[in-house]
């Protein structure tokens, strides 16, 4: 049975926690990014000669792209409406092409005896 004054979440005398256990943290620097809605985010990067700071960062508040220029943030991406398969087919084929393909497919099915419909004259 557990006593009423037990410390939950860690063991007494379990050892050091934090930096001494994981080692020293690398020196870091912060870069400010602003999105089109004016949100600022400041991710940190390790100081390294080979580090390349990204030009664009996703805003954690609204999800829009954010840039380093506060007065000229990146444009929000244009959202294309979802297209159905039929919409893509209609982009590639005219109504006449579709009617011709349908007639050809129906004729092929009737020749094989599929569909049970009487042939049209």
Looking at 3.30.1490.20, 2.20.28.270, 2.40.110.20, 3.40.630.30, the CATH number of the domain 26-67 comes to 2.20.28.270
The pair of structure tokens assigned to 94 is 């005219």
By 3-state DSSP, what share of the chain in percent is helix, strand and coil, each rounded to 5?
A: 25, 15, 60
62 is in an annotated binding site: yes
State residue 19's pLDDT score.
Answer: 58
Residue 69, φ and ψ in degrees, nearest 5: -95, 110
Domain ranges of the chain: 26-67, 80-113
pLDDT tens, residue by residue, 63-77: 999 999 999 999 998
Q: Side-chain half-sphere of 99: how many Cα atoms within 13 Å? A: 3
Q: For position 9, what pLDDT does the model report?
A: 65
β-partners of residue 46 are: 28
pLDDT at 107: 94
Instruction: State yes or no: 85 annotated in a binding site.
Output: no
13 labelled binding-site residue: no
pLDDT digits (tens, 9 = 90+) for 39-59: 999 999 999 888 899 999 999
**For residue 30, what pLDDT is reported?**
95
Whole-prediction pTM value?
0.52
Report, as ranges of residue numbers, the positions in the chain whose pLDDT lies below 70.
1-22, 116-121
Tokens of 108: 């092929």
Quote the pLDDT of residue 114: 82
Task: Please tell me the distance from the alpha carbon of residue 117 to that of residue 104, in angstroms, as a whole number.
Answer: 15
């Amino acid at each position: 049975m557990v006593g009423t004054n037990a410390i939950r979440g860690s063991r007494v005398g379990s050892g050091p926690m934090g930096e001494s256990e994981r080692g020293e943290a690398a020196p870091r620097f912060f870069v400010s990014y602003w999105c089109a809605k004016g949100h600022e985010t400041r991710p940190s990067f390790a100081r390294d000669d080979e580090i390349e700071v990204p030009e664009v960062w996703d805003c954690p508040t609204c999800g829009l792209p954010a840039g380093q220029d506060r007065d000229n943030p990146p444009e929000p991406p244009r959202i294309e409406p979802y297209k159905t398969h039929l919409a893509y087919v209609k982009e590639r084929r005219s109504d006449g092409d579709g009617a011709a393909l349908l007639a050809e497919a129906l004729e092929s099915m009737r020749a094989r005896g599929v569909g049970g419909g009487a042939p049209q004259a």
